[in-house]
Structure 1
Amino acid sequence: MIVLYIFLLIHLEGYNRCVIIQDKMSIDVPFKHPSFLMHQDKIQCQTQRQEMLRCGTSNVYVKPECVCSFHNVYEATLYHKYSSCPHGEESDVVTKLKCPDCKKYSLNNNGPCINGGKLTCNGDEVAPHITCECPPNYQGKFCEEKLENVTRRCDKISAFSAIGMINCDLTKSDCVTYSRTGKYVYLCKETETSQDRQGLPLCIDTEDITVSPDVRTRTSASTTDSNQLDDIISGVQSTTPTPAVIVFLVTLQLCFSNAIMLNLFDIH
């Protein structure tokens, strides 16, 4: 009966653990800075292929990966204080390239767009103001921002303990969240990685799935029959089971079986 009491008490008071799911944004660039951007030597960017961007009136042309690529445009003011062309022949200053030219002088004619983004030219906007059409779960000017869901496990606390803490709707650090009407309060620890949900409910929904079975009062433990136990277990099983629920059910069943065996032994 003690096990039964604890089991029912937990369900009457709600889940002790639940989860929240938040959006996480991070910069996702699937490649390192090109080496030619890290030093002044631009010889590796130069070629004699005439379909490339020509350096003034010289016979030197600039490779597309050295003209309108992501890092060239995303950090243009940092790296484009100098040119990939020979001294005095400046024709590849990316901050002055118009969108159609940026498209032409870039790898796969896709300009600075990354992560599956597609270059869209609205006119003659210069390279730093180009925008890209991003695939799902990406955003940003050049689709460099990745969006993903992060699952955070949270533990039940008292309302008193939550005083002064920030709501999880406003922060991704340590915070508190609530069930639908604020009946239960949960503390969520800060995490950068998604945690295993482990079958736990959403914190906001914990009021909707707690159990309130009809427990009939008995004068003694020995008068509890199997029909009452089946009614209680049936009411619990009508909710979404969790590992904790399953353990309690098994324990309860074993306790009940042991009680029957002891009664039979006492009779004989």
Structure 2
Amino acid sequence: MALTDTFTLANNVKIPVLGFGTWQTPDGDVAYQATLDALKAGYRHIDTAAIYGNEESVGRAIADSGIPREDLFITTKLWNTDHGYAETQAALKLSLKKLGLDYVDLYLIHWPNPIDFRNEWQQRNADSWRAMEEAYQNGLTRAIGVSNFQIHHLEELFKTATIKPMVNQLFLNPSDTDDEVVAFNKAHGILNEAYSPLGTGAIFDLPEVKAVANRLNKTVAQVVLRWSLDKGFLPLPKSTHAERIIENGQLFDFELSAKDTATIDNLRGKFGFHKDADQVEF
């Protein structure tokens, strides 16, 4: 396995096994340089979102990288205030403009049950999904999916969808493996993407993970990202430091033993669980 290796989505689109996340990366020079550093380091999968506020900077880095568009995989997401058919069409159009792209490779519904639409989330998701299916058919995105959807959100979407989501991006890391949703996704041909694959900074202070990393002469981040890949997740690590960006992509020259994997498996709950999508205040 290498940084250029891919998973295959349900529609046969290839998606690189490691993505570069840009959540909490400030717009402007920081987002621009971090994205450019990731592309220089060999990443070909960049993950952003409308709410991150950095699509323009990410887009400039993509343009300035000189990498052919067809060699890149770019994801962005529909924000909560834009759920609905016409709203989704407009939101995707705006994201494409900010990114400076004719199409994205993956477009996701960011959250299933926004506070603005709590009494009609099912219909709003259905309407957004219809717009996304049309965008997919019209070549504005090569794949469509969701994020933070639990089983009941997916089951509701299936009632009206003519195309199933190809991806579900979730809070997945050693602290929360969300086993039931992960298994449901797999059963329906939906790839599990892992945002916050390193959880919070707390993981870097755990002696049991440090011990594994020291024995393998790897960083804690490398060990945990390798664990994520071994679980069949697609991790999306984020950093704004060039050396860490490079390190986080160096996951393919070592293996975790069964004992190492068990050690990391036992970190459940050590640094929190995913937010309840039906209770979020946004």
Q: Greater helix share, 1 or 2?
A: 2
Higher Cα Rg, which structure: 1
TM-score normalized by the length of structure 1: 0.21
Q: Greater strand share, 1 or 2?
A: 1
TM-score normalized by the length of structure 2: 0.20
